[in-house]
Structure 1
Amino acid sequence: MDATADELAGVVDLFGGLTRAELERALSEAAYRADGQSVDGDALEVALEEARSSFALLEYDRADGDPLLVAGPTAFPTVPAHAEDVPHILDVERRRLDRDALGEQARVEFQDAVDDAVAASEDTTRLHDLLDISYDIEAWAPVDLADERDRLEAAIE
């Protein structure tokens, strides 16, 4: 099973958020139900990296356990085929997240991404992508990214 960023977001969104291990188990259950196959670990790693880079998934640090992967501001959560029963299979309660803390986490991750993109400013595609993502984050969480947008625009010029 090769999951897209939106499908990864769809699976974690079924629960409000999942740890990395829980997400892997959920995907394994869905893959087995789909065709008896398993999840390709390397493909999952690439998909997770792309989902995090595009802000379709965010990592939410919590005080009482491992970080959670949650659907991010650019995601269009889509439950993959054969994953609709995963909540009944996994013994994981739906999680309630602190939206303000999650917004702050998104802001910090975005600032880090801007720092990296500006440092490698020859990659104007990434700069433009982040400019677009800034608006998604602001619509999704109560944060102001105007300063980061100014930095991106200056790096593009």
Structure 2
Amino acid sequence: MADESGPSVAARDDLAGVVDLFEWLTRAELSRALSELAFKRRTEVDEAAIDAAIDRAVDEYALVPAPEGALSGDRSSLDEAAERDAEEDTALAVGPAAFPTLPDGAADLPHILDVPDRGVDREVLADAVLDRLRREAVTAMDGGDAERLETLADVTYDVEAWAPVDVDPVRTRILAEVDE
């Protein structure tokens, strides 16, 4: 079971909704979008909370790192950010565990942010998500992390509904480990 002290599922789905507006965003661009929303609402920007919300969304597969081969569109903002931390330049796309929703004011973000038209090759993204799922399952098995394995088992069902990939071998292995 996930840590309930962190950002809510609704917040996670709001993050996915913001990313969905643009097809994909870098972590830095998503953070900026959330800061713009906070400004529009006249609230304080809590960078640590934004980082925690993004981390949780990625951890729970609501947002997924997108490999370069899955991305289309102008990457000028990525090139301009080359000097920044590589993590900030990670491209994020909507993942299988998300139910994207638009937070209040988000519809204005395309007019506020200077983000070019973009696209995501879902097939390439799905293969990357399946590879990540496999790696994380092995890590959780090796570490005896039953809680993470249960989360990953749930994610296998989300992935299966989200993309035409065969997750059954991964799920079977995870469930066998959980049932031990």
Does the TM-score normalized on the shorter chain lie above 0.5?
A: yes
Query: 2:105 aligns to what?
Result: 82
Cα distance in 2 for partners of 1:128, 1:30 equals 34
Q: How far apart, CA to CA, are the structure 2 residues paired with 1:46 and 1:37? A: 16
**2:22 equivalent to 1:21:** no
Q: Check conservation: 1:31, 1:82, Cα contact below 8 A.
A: no
Aligned 8 A contact 1:118 1:127 in 2: yes
Query: 2:153 and 2:33 mapped to 1: Cα distance?
Result: 33
State the 4+ residue runs in structure 1 displaced beyond 2 angstroms. Answer: 63-67, 123-126
Aligned match of 2:161: 139
Distance 1:24 1:129 in 2: 25
Give the corresponding residue for 1:116: 139
Distance in 2 separating the partners of 1:92 and 1:115? 37
SS in 1 for 2:128: helix
Is contact 2:31–2:51 with CA below 8 Å preserved after alignment?
A: no
User: What are the ranges of 5 or more consecutive residues in structure 1 without an aligned counterpart?
Assistant: none
Q: Post-superposition shift, 1:67?
A: 3.6
After superposing the two structures, state which structure 1 stretch, 100-109 or 60-69, moved more. Answer: 60-69
Aligned residue among 71, 95, 98 for 2:118 = 95
- Determine the structure 2 residue equivalent to 1:46: 52
Query: Of 18, 35, 53, which residue of structure 2 is paired with 1:11?
Result: 18
> Paired residues, what number?
154
State the AA in 2 paired with 1:97.
V
Aligned mates of 2:51, 2:142 — CA distance in 1: 25
1:57-72 alignment to 2 at 5 Å? 57-62=63-68, 65=78, 66-72=89-95
Deviations 1:122-148 (A, max 9, x none): x32322221121011011112111221
Q: Distance in 2 between matches of 1:138 and 1:25?
A: 32
Q: What is the deviation of 1:95?
A: 1.4
Q: Contact 1:56 / 1:74 at 8 angstroms: preserved in 2?
A: yes
CA distance in 2 between partners of 1:54 and 1:139 (Å): 16
Q: CA RMSD in A?
A: 1.8
State the distance in 2 between where 1:134 and 1:74 align. Answer: 9
TM-score, normalised with respect to structure 2: 0.78
